[in-house]
Every structure is written in structure tokens, then in C-alpha cells.
Chains A and B, each alone.
Chain A
Amino acid sequence: MACECGNKKESLDKYLAPLREVLKNYEKEEKYLIPILQEAQDEYGYLPEEVLKEIASYLDLSLSQVYGVVTFYTQFHLEPRGKNIIRVCMGTACHVRGGADVLAAVKDALGIENGETTKDLKFTLETVACIGACGLAPVIMINDDTHGRLTPEKIPGILASYK
């Protein structure tokens, strides 16, 4: 699942080259795990298994230990992420004003569940507790853009503008 380059050592080396550049800047100490993971995720967009294995060997940790840390923090992702990240607000104000219907409309339009990414890697769907734009409820954010006062009918049009 990790990389599309198959198992050949050469292509794996090529795939891991950017990571190895990152690792050069860190000593082999457990305390650097989180900064390394952050930089690796910036590099690859997510944290593929091969990348985690390489980090584990570098820091002399087991893969389970690294996996434990990655799954603890919501900032880390084990799956590729879409080009556009949609965050649907589930805060109280949005909830009261139909946030759930908006979420359902997004799910319908993209054919994915919360936390998933579309096959074409265009969109990732997430829910968040509160965006802090309650005056505009119900709201969603796509990347850095806020879309407020939504109704389910408006969703397809908004999504289309990001394709």
C-alpha cells in the first residue's frame, strides 16, 4: 500500500531519498520522533508505511511504537490526503442550524464517509468541533476558504469550483 514503486530496493531508495535528507538533520534520539514525523508528512503529504519503517529503524524504535504515536495525534495521517481538505463544522451553532444535513450533502456529492478521501485524491472529508464562525452557521471550510449560511442544495456548486 505504501509506495507504488514496488519492492525493488532501488526504487525504494529513490522513494525514501527525501526522507533520508530530512533524517540527516536529526540525531538518533527518540525525542525527535515528532518533528521528524511532521517534516516527513510535509514531504509526502501523509505517512506511508515504508516511511514509518525507515523512521523506526533510524531511531531504533519498533514500528508499533512509531505507529502508536502517529495514531495518537490527529495531525498525522496514514492515508493519502486529498488536494482539498473539507472541514464540516459540527459545533453547537452549526448543529442547531442543520450542520448534519450539510455533512450528508457533502458525503452524497463525493461518495465518501467522514475521514475518507475520494479515489481521485481531490477531496478529503473531515468534521471539526467548531471553526469559530458561528455567526455564519452552518459552515464548512475548504482549505482556507470559509463557506457559510449553507444549505444542502448549495454544496454541489461549491464543490464543483474546486475540481
Chain B
Amino acid sequence: MARWGAFICDGTEVDAGSLAGEEVVVTTTLPPQPRELVCKLIGIWTRFDLDGGILIGAVPELVEQGLKESFRQAGLDPFRLVLVDLRGRDAVGKDREIKAALARARHLEPVAWTKAKAQQRVLIIGGGAAGLQTALGLRKLGLPVVIVEQEQNLGGRLTKLDGLCPWDEDPQGWIRSALEVLQRDSEVEILSASKPLALKGQVGDFTLEVQSPAGPITRRGGAVVLALGSTVRWPQSSGLEPGPHVVGLTRLDELTPIRLHYKKVAFLLDVDGLGSRLGTLSALRSALRIKDNWGSEVHILCRNLKVDGKPLESMYRKARDRGVVFFKYEELPRATEQREKILLQFKDPDLDNVVVDEAYDLIVLEEEILPAGEDLGRAWGVLQPANVHLYPVETNRKGIYMVGGCRDEMDFPGVIQDGTIAAGEIGALLGQGVLIYEEDRVRVETEKCVFCLTCVRLCPHQAAEIDLVKEAAFINPAACQACGMCAADCPAQAIDYKAYDNEGILAQLEMGGR
């Protein structure tokens, strides 16, 4: 018979006698501070060699999750700690809650823990600033890396921009010295002009197939970092086409270093109403370049100027002081071609909505910025769900991270921040060389499985796999995050989720618990 402890908080006015006859160890004085509480519980747990315990008292959810996490860290099974929240219950209610919890507790089975060796190498896909910073951080923590870059040269978009804005550190200089460090390092393998093909495996042991110039090769690693950057799309709704008098903001960087004779230039930002801060940043920096290099008159037209980033507001003021003129529009300006010029017609609400007519030699259009590699993400089942509780670089899949421009609109300092965080997270994950996970918290009962593969489709963490030999689904314990989605939706009820198995819940309900 399993040994159970009942921990009753002071002030809950529960009669320990109601537990008489149960196979339990009862303790009543518990410290109010969560941390001391945990120490005390764990102490009793190990001293009496308990198999499980029930904590009775005022246990808001906040405390519950924390307790379970501490148990996990102490090597005890958090799912065998059953909490009974008695707030707002009368005497009868309290008694019922406690009996119900005991009933459920009795159905809990122990979970086994497994240690698995983890690969130390980290597979980084994309050699822009984000990928490079991740690599530098990981190297300092002693982990070897592979960088897969589709282009011949590393460095990404920042190497292609002209006249960057004044960060504490010059991004292009930074990239050069980062590359120098990495290229000298024998534990860094750089695969350029290479594309990833397929990814298999799970946290601790991924296998990546790469199409390299020398043919297909594979690399193994314990974690994967997607640092794919962003792409741009021409805003069709603008009604403008690229041509001699119309260019995209990203193309402009190729032109600004050359001396050109456009007398009057307009930046048309925010075309779809959702322009990005990178567009404003780029426009401000290019506007100043154009003033310097071409001596042109420059107008910037937008709906909302995006100034919510460190140097933007002061760059905006600087541009104004330098004579750049800003217009606001609500309705997209009407463009007509007119003898080697483009005429823009619009109403500025700040100017009493009078119609402004201006003819420009060059229109620079803000493109839409999109995360790159959505195809890869889809193929590998990697996404960054809109969940504020995920740490910034985490994804739905354990051991796969997303950094830089492929996860959000990000400037250089943001990219460096992301790379550093990812290196820290991966260092903590793989640094010990072993992964510890619960062996069979969630398990498919092969004989009940009808092979409908609902779980394979539903699992948000790609942990449900297909076992062709047994013709049944199989839950990969290393990838499983015990969210319970599969167990809830399996039509054959073939998935056994240990903390929440049906019998335990039925027993609890029978006793009148919540």
C-alpha cells in the first residue's frame, strides 16, 4: 500500500480526525512563506519516504504551480502532490473536498524518470547577425556549433544596408569581427551556399539534412536555432510598380552610395496602414543619406510615423532640422505619371485637408516586411504561438528556438539581445550533457489505439509519432510537454495521461469534489 502524507495548513480549521483510518502521515504546522513551505514538505516527504501527498489549505493556483515545479526540481514526482483548495468552503464542503482528493490520489501511479545523453552540438540555420550572435554566445559556453547559410556570404541583411544608424556598436564592423572569431574556431563549422532539407529527431538529438555544394550531408545536434531573418513583399495596394521612378526601400540601399540626380524624392510609408518601425528607421536613415549624397529635396509621407524605438524620435527631429518635410495622409495618395516624374496627390489632415500636389523624380515605397522561412516552420511544425508565457526565443517545440528577424520586427540591438538569450537558454539545456524527462507520463495504450492519428495531428509539440510496426501512435517522451491535448481528444480513449487519468477523476467526482 502506498504511503500518503496529508499536510494541513494552519487556520483551515480542518479536523485531522477526518483523516483517521487513512494510511497517512499528518502534519499541521506549515510556514506561510512558499519557499519555506516547499522545504518543509520536501523534508517530510523524504523522511517518511512518502509516495504521494495532499496539501490541504488555502492554495491558490499561483502556489500550486510553484510547488509542483519545486518538487520536480527536487527529483520528486510533482503530479503526486494533490492540492486541495479550501478557500470559501464550509465544514461539509471541506470534508468532501478532502475525501475526493484522497480518492483521486489513490489512483495516481508513479512516473519514471529517464536520463538521456544529449548532443552538445547546436545547429544554427541562418548566418545573419542573429545566428552569429547565438553562435558566439554558445562558443563562449563551450558548445560546438554548425551554421547553415543559403548564401555564399554570411552576415545577412545588415551587410547590405547603407548608412546605418548610430547604435553603440557599428553593425557592419560587428559582423566582420564576429565572422573573424568564428572562422578561426575549430569547433565552428560553417556550411555556406547550403540549404536545410529535413529535420528529424527531438530535443537532445536532432538530425538535419543539408543540401551543400558538395551534395547532401547530415549533421546531428542537441538543439536547433532558426535565425532566418525577414523577406519583403511589394505592397500591391499602392497601385505603383517598380520602375525608373519607383523603387522599394530595400533596393534604395544599392542606390544611395552612388551619386544620382533625383532632385525631389518622396518616401511613401505605411501603405497598408501597418508600416513597421524598421521602415521608418530605414526611411529616416536613407533620407539623410540622400540629402548628403544627392542634395535632393526629401519628403516623407505616412499615416503614422513609427518612432517607438530608441533613436527614432531623435532621428526624426534631426531629419526635420535638416529640412526633410513630413506629410501625413489618411487616404493613400493618388499617383499619376507625368513626363519623367510621378505626381502624388493627397490630403494632409494637419494642413486642414487641402489637396497637396507634388511631382517627384523618385518615389521610394516601404515594402511589407515578412518573417522568412515560414515554409520551413510549417514543414517542421515549428511556430511561435501567441502565448505571453513563452520566453521570447522559445517555440512550441522543445529544443528548437527562433531568433532575430524571423520572429519579430527587430533592429540590430534587438537581434543581439535575442542571440544572447538563446545562447543562455541552450547553454542551460545542453550544458550538462544529459536531459532528464518523465518516461511515460503520457502513453498510448497500443491495443486500444485505432490508428486514426488524431494525436499526431493535434499535438502542438510534435511529440505524437507514428509507429508503423505496431500500427499505433506513440508519444515521444522527450518531446512531450504533458499538455494533455492528445488525451482529451483521442476518440478511442487510448491515451493514458497519468496525472489526469479517467479513473482518478471519476473517483474524485464520485466523492463530490470539484
Is chain B found bound to chain A in the same assembly?
Answer: no
Residues of B within 8 A of A (CB): none
Residues of A within 8 A of B (CB): none
